[in-house]
């Protein structure tokens, strides 16, 4: 395969300086002295983008010439985090940029902080997509990310009187320096209407949509700069625009209302990201969003392929792979069928074979609430031709089932794509893909053995595991420069592109001098976080206390409730026994709750009420502090991760598909306090049982207990003094004046409330084990040498969790794609 042309990153200090000053003058009529940090940020970003653009162009010219196989990562979410610092790091421009700005009298860090953190995702699934793009570029795989250019990202979380309040996140407000609008590739997307069947000359039926609504999908391209490579991939985010700014024809035909409708559709379609994760909000607009970016992407890919390969679509799977990030993009299967059949008159069987060989599906959850199902009424009204195709896929699939199993109506109803008045997107994704993967060993096993058992039986070869990973460029090199430098001084910088090299640190975990330096870095990071917290919230935290962090979306299965219960327990204990010798702790929480998830929001209020109680009690000074840090996002994670001593990964076993925060914390030398769930299991395998705090029921035990239906939290209440005391604190006025605010949580634990089973996520069941593990941690922390050894060992064992490893496995085991040669 032809090599990528060499284009060196030769941006000089002087070029950066003149670029910034010129840009400030042209764009804002400002000088360095008078420009705002935002303006300087934009000027610097544009300067760097201009430089990136040369490589970006060259990369795509090369792709075109060499006719490379390309992977399209289809995702409703890309949680990219700030662009600029990452681009600077990956292009090895950190020193140059720092010096250039210094000579202009500006601090680069301050300018980096001026970049709005684009929140085009909810949590793990969106951030995984971003890590994958970084790895794809760094390792030289031709790839596109394809998604939606939401005008408003995940809401800004404010805390008012302890409650979560959502405010719009207008990330485009100060401009969009990294995006390139590419009108020339715009595509029309059709909704609604009627399908007309017309017989063609050969007597074949052709299906034509009439009376539809139409919007224009316009791509905005963002560069994905890899580390130390001249290859630049593309994140293509589609934005909606009216087909005709003012539809004269419709106006003249008296269809003014239709034109108005289309204007409104365009405005609302890409307005907001749905702020729900693992929590179904089955709204029409979401289905529209899905079809919008899928249809645009597939249309463009097929058109480009047809042009290049002379319409020989049998080769499509050899050149194109679509990876579906959960079921959200699974309309891709039906849309590809539609285009091949209606657009290129391909027979069904041929189109089906090509489609299946081109699509692959990743499952990210076993929470049944998150499984996407659409009412047939809605689906067929909004996407009538797509529905016909889905129906036909379903009909043929059910026919096969009858062949394989005989007439077993129960089984067929369970496995069908269309049943009970709904379209089940997971079933469509499974049937229409050549690969189905889970995101950690235990998760994939649960899919095979429980959740998707029936499908595994008929398609055993399609199922495979791809344990998640994270990019060490953002999650160590960028966010923790002090630790990076220490590691590089010890073992060289090979780890930046080969994380397994961290294992060279293993012997150093018992080296006193290295351990000292390692813990000095940790301490410095804790001080930096403390200073940040003081600046933002006026609260002082003690950097010598244990920094115990749980940062992730708020969900009952993640059990933030268990964490805050332990805080209440510790408070109760210290009140009763003030002279108790405990290790000072700072409990840090950060989490957004889905806007419509009432109980999750109540848990946030509870955390804040407990924080008020504890932090305002002078008896707790120097003993414990509790903080809820508002508006968790990628840029906040970058501050928390380097400063953590303890990483809380405490989901009910069997519920967290993988988790990726667990990997970020471990990489930065935090010790995991966790259940045997998701990737925690594999973290334990890597670090060994002595370097992690594991507690609680296993997934099998949870499954078994759930199946017996005998779990009775009242027994625990009656037998366990701690539990009784904690639950009483919820309702006795200690935390709120009206006594009833947290009654729902009390009821949910003991009796079930609002349709949930009593203590559905086994918080009380696992509590004693959790408390014991927390006490083990306090004891362990006292032995500074042992703790340092554990911390270093965790970093040293993080090699497996690089997204580079994950992507290499996707590339060889699912996509069958080779990297472009690097020069």
Q: Which stretch binds ligand 26Q (CB under 6 A): 38-46, 124-132, 630-638, 757-765?
A: 124-132
Determine which residue in the list 169, 239, 262, 278 makes contact with ligand 26Q, applying CB under 6 A: 278
Q: Which stretch binds ligand 26Q (CB under 6 A): 428-436, 626-634, 653-661, 714-722?
A: 653-661
- Nearer residue to ligand 26Q within complex by CB, 111 or 425: 425
Site residues for ligand 26Q, 461-490, by CB under 6 A, read 468
* Residue 565 CB, nearest approach to ligand 26Q (Å): 22
HSE-CB at 536 with a 13 A cutoff on CA atoms is 15
Q: Is the separation of the CB atoms in 613 and 533 below 8 Å?
A: no
Min separation Cβ 370 and ligand 26Q, Å:
4
Minimum CB separation from ligand 26Q for residue 66, in Å?
A: 32
Q: What are residue 359's DSSP bridge partners?
A: 322
115 is a site residue for ligand 26Q (CB under 6 A): no
Reply yes or no on whether 793 is catalytic.
no
- The residue among 128 and 390 lying less far from ligand 26Q, judged by its C-beta, is 128
Which residue of the set 82, 552, 601, 793 is catalytic? 552
Q: Which is nearer to ligand 26Q, 332 or 496 (CB)?
A: 332
Assess whether 552 carries a catalytic annotation: yes
- Contact range with ligand 26Q by CB under 6 A, out of 233-241, 275-283, 517-525, 775-783: 275-283
Nearest C-alpha neighbor of 817 from the set 76, 31, 71: 71
What tokens were used for 152?
């408003």
Indicate which residue of 49, 69, 462, 558 is catalytic.
558
* Calpha distance 596→612 (Å, rounded): 25
Q: Is 493 left (phi over 0), alpha (psi -120 to 50) or beta?
A: alpha
CA gap 296, 316 in Å, rounded: 17
Strand pairing report for 546-551 and 646-649: parallel
What SS3 state is found at 115?
coil
Find the binding residues for ligand 26Q in span 359-378 (CB under 6 A): 364-365, 370, 372
Burial-class residue 760 by CB neighbours within 10 Å (0-12, 13-18, 19+). Answer: middle
Instruction: Pick one of 358, 635, 660, 672: the residue that binds ligand 26Q (CB under 6 A).
Output: 660
Of 664, 771, 793, 800, catalytic:
664
Binding mask 666-685 for ligand 26Q (x = CB under 6 A): ------------x-------
**Cβ atoms < 10 Å from Cβ of 558:** 26
Among 106, 135, 121, which residue's Cα sits nearest to residue 35?
106
By CB atoms closer than 10 A (0-12, 13-18, 19+), residue 245 is exposed
Q: Is 26 helix (H, G, I), strand (E, B) or coil?
A: helix
Minimum distance of ligand 26Q from residue 289's CB (angstroms): 10
Kind and range of the H or E run holding 508: none
Piece in contact with ligand 26Q (CB under 6 A), picked from 155-163, 271-279, 668-676, 805-813: 271-279
Residue 209, number of CB atoms within 10 A of its CB: 18
Please classify residue 519 by burial: count the beta carbons closer than 10 Å to its beta carbon, then call 0-12 exposed, 13-18 middle and 19+ buried.
Answer: middle
Judged by CB under 6 A, does residue 123 bind ligand 26Q?
A: yes
Mask for 371-410, x = binds ligand 26Q (CB under 6 A): -x--------------------------------------
Binding to ligand 26Q by residue 439, rule CB under 6 A? Answer: yes
Active site residue 427: no
Q: Which of 268, 248, 286, 262 is CA-nearest to residue 211?
A: 262
417 near ligand 26Q, judged by CB under 6 A? no
Question: Among residues 553, 555, 559, 601, which one is catalytic?
Answer: 553
Residues in the chain: 823
> C-alpha distances in angstroms, 94 versus 140, 490, 770?
22, 21, 43
* Binding residue for ligand 26Q, selected from 72, 141, 238, 274, defined by CB under 6 A: 274
74: left (phi over 0), alpha (psi -120 to 50) or beta: beta
Q: How far is the CB of 77 from ligand 26Q (least distance, A)?
A: 7
Q: Which stretch binds ligand 26Q (CB under 6 A): 117-125, 447-455, 539-547, 640-648?
A: 117-125
281 lies in the site for ligand 26Q, by CB under 6 A: yes
Q: Which of 656, 722, 736, 804 binds ligand 26Q (CB under 6 A)?
A: 656
Q: Which two tokens stand for residue 451?
A: 């959740």
Nearer to ligand 26Q, 243 or 366 (CB): 366
Token representation of residue 195: 């399908």
Q: Is 199 in the active site?
A: no
Q: How far is the CB of 609 from ligand 26Q (least distance, A)?
A: 27
Instruction: Tell me how far apart the alpha carbons of residues 198 and 187 are, in angstroms, rounded to a whole number.
Output: 25
Check binding of 181 to ligand 26Q (CB under 6 A): no
122 lies in the site for ligand 26Q, by CB under 6 A: yes
Member of 145, 659, 713, 799 binding ligand 26Q (CB under 6 A): 659
Q: Residues near 500 by Cβ (< 8 Å), separated by ≥ 6?
A: 799, 800, 802, 805
- Closest distance of CB 659 from ligand 26Q, Å: 5
**Which span (25-33, 123-131, 236-244, 734-742) binds ligand 26Q, by CB under 6 A?**
123-131
Residue 432 DSSP class: T
- Which residue, 90 or 330, is less far from ligand 26Q as judged by CB? 330
Kindly provide the residue ranges of all beta strands, DSSP E only, lying in 604-721, ordered along the sequence.
624-628, 646-649, 671-674, 693-694
Choose one: 26-34, 291-299, 338-346, 657-665; the region binding ligand 26Q (CB under 6 A).
Answer: 657-665
Q: Which of 660, 672, 795, 806 is catalytic?
A: 660
Three-class secondary structure of residue 405 per DSSP? helix
Identify the residue among 4, 45, 125, 479 touching ligand 26Q (CB under 6 A): 125
DSSP-derived pairing of the beta strands 646-649 and 671-674? parallel
What's the closest the beta carbon of residue 16 comes to ligand 26Q, in angstroms? 36
- List contacts with ligand 26Q (CB under 6 A): 122-125, 128, 274, 276-278, 280-281, 286, 364-365, 370, 372, 439, 468, 656-660, 678
**Annotated active-site positions, please?**
364, 552-553, 558, 660, 664
């Amino acid at each position: 395969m032809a090599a990528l042309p060499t284009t060196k990153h030769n941006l000089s200090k002087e070029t950066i300086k003149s670029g910034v000053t010129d840009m400030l003058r042209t764009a804002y009529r400002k000088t360095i002295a008078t420009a705002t940090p935002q303006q300087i940020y934009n000027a610097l970003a544009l300067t760097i983008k201009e430089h990136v653009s040369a490589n970006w162009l060259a990369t795509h010219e090369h792709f075109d010439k060499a006719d490379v196989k390309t992977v399209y990562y289809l995702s409703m979410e890309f949680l990219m985090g700030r662009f600029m610092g990452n681009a600077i790091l990956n292009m090895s421009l950190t020193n140059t940029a720092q010096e250039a700005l210094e000579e202009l009298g500006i601090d680069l860090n301050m300018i980096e902080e001026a970049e709005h953190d684009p929140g085009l995702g909810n949590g793990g699934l969106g951030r995984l997509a971003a890590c994958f793009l970084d790895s794809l570029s760094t390792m030289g795989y031709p790839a596109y990310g394809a998604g939606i250019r939401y005008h408003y990202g995940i809401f800004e979380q404010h805390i008012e009187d302890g409650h979560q309040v959502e405010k719009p996140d207008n990330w485009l407000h100060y401009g969009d320096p990294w995006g390139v609008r590419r009108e020339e590739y715009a595509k029309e997307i059709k909704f609604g209407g009627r399908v007309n069947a017309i017989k063609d000359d050969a007597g074949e039926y052709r299906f034509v949509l009439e009376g539809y609504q139409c919007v224009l999908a316009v791509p905005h391209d963002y560069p994905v700069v890899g580390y130390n490579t001249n290859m630049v991939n593309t994140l293509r985010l589609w934005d909606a625009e009216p087909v005709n700014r003012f539809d004269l024809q419709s106006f003249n035909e008296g269809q003014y209302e239709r034109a108005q409708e289309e204007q409104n559709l365009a405005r609302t379609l890409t307005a907001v990201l749905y702020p729900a994760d693992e929590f179904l909000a089955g709204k029409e607009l979401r289905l529209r969003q899905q079809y919008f970016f899928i249809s645009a992407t597939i249309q463009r890919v097929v058109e480009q392929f047809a042009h290049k390969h002379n319409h020989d679509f049998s080769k499509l799977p050899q050149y194109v792979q679509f990876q579906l990030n959960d079921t959200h993009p699974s309309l891709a299967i039906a849309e590809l069928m539609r285009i091949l059949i209606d657009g290129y008159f391909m027979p069904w069987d041929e189109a089906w074979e090509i489609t299946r060989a081109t699509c692959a599906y990743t499952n990210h959850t076993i929470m049944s609430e998150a499984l996407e199902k659409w009412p047939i009424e809605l689906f067929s009204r909004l996407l009538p031709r797509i529905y016909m195709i889905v129906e036909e896929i379903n009909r043929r699939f059910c026919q096969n089932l009858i062949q394989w199993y005989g007439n077993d109506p129960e089984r067929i109803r369970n496995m069908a794509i269309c049943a009970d008045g709904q379209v089940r997107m997971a079933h469509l994704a499974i049937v229409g893909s050549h690969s189905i993967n889970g995101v950690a060993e235990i998760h994939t096993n649960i899919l095979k053995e429980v959740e998707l058992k029936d499908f595994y039986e008929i398609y055993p070869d399609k199922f495979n595991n791809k344990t998640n990973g994270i990019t060490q460029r953002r999650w160590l090199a960028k966010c923790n420069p002090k630790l990076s430098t220490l590691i590089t001084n010890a073992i060289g910088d090979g780890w930046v592109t080969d994380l397994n090299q961290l294992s060279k640190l293993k012997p150093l975990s018992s080296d006193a001098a290295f351990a000292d330096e390692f813990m000095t870095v940790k301490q410095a990071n804790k001080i930096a976080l403390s200073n940040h917290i003081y600046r933002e919230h006026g609260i002082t935290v003690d950097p010598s206390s244990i920094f115990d962090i749980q940062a992730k979306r708020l969900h009952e299965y993640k059990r933030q409730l268990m964490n805050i219960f332990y805080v209440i327990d510790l408070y109760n204990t210290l009140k009763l026994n003030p002279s108790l010798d405990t290790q000072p702790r700072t409990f840090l929480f950060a989490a957004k709750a889905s806007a419509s998830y009432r109980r999750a929001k109540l848990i946030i209020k509870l955390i804040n009420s407990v924080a008020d109680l504890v932090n305002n009690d002078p008896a707790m000074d120097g003993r414990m502090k509790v903080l809820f840090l508002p508006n968790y996002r990628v840029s906040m994670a970058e501050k928390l991760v380097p400063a953590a001593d303890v990483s809380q990964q405490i989901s009910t076993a069997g519920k967290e598909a993988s988790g990726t925060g667990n990997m970020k914390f471990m990489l930065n030398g935090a010790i995991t306090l966790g259940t045997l769930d998701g990737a925690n299991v594999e973290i334990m395998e890597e670090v060994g049982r002595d370097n992690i705090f594991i507690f609680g029921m296993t997934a099998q035990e949870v499954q078994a207990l759930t199946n017996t239906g005998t779990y009775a939290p009242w027994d625990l209440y009656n037998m366990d003094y701690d539990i009784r005391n904690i639950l009483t604190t919820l309702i006795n006025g200690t935390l709120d004046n009206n006594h009833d605010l947290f009654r729902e949580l009390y009821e949910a634990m003991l009796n079930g409330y609002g349709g949930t089973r009593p203590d559905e996520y086994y918080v009380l069941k696992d509590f004693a084990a959790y408390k014991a593990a927390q006490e083990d941690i306090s004891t362990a922390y006292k032995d500074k040498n042992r703790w340092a050894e554990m911390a270093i060992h965790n970093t040293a064992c993080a090699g497996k969790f690089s997204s580079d490893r994950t992507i290499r496995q996707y590339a060889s085991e699912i996509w069958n794609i080779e990297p472009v040669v690097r020069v």
